[in-house]
């Protein structure tokens, strides 16, 4: 069976909508655990929403 690479969690900055790859905070046998960055590299915002939840986000 071919290995399927793990995709990082993606987070959207609530202020400017820039997308960031999550930071790996834990390595486990089943994969990695991600958290949003401390701050947005584009606007210094500090609130993020998971990309998969963005369509349901009411900022």
List the chain domain ranges: 10-54
This prediction has a pTM of 0.83
Q: How far apart are CA 59 and CA 49, in angstroms?
A: 9
pLDDT of res. 2: 59
Q: Which two tokens stand for residue 56?
A: 């349901």
Parts of the chain with a pLDDT under 70: 1-3, 58-59
The residues, any chain, with a CB within 8 Å of residue 38's CB and separated by 6 or more, are 46
Burial 16-25 (b: 16+ CB within 10 A, else e): eeeebebeee
């Amino acid at each position: 069976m071919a290995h399927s690479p793990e995709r990082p969690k993606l987070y959207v900055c609530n202020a400017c909508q820039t997308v960031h790859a999550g930071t790996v905070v834990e390595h486990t046998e089943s994969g990695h655990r991600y958290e949003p960055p401390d701050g947005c590299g584009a606007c210094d915002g500090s609130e993020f929403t998971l990309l998969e939840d963005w369509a349901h986000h009411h900022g």
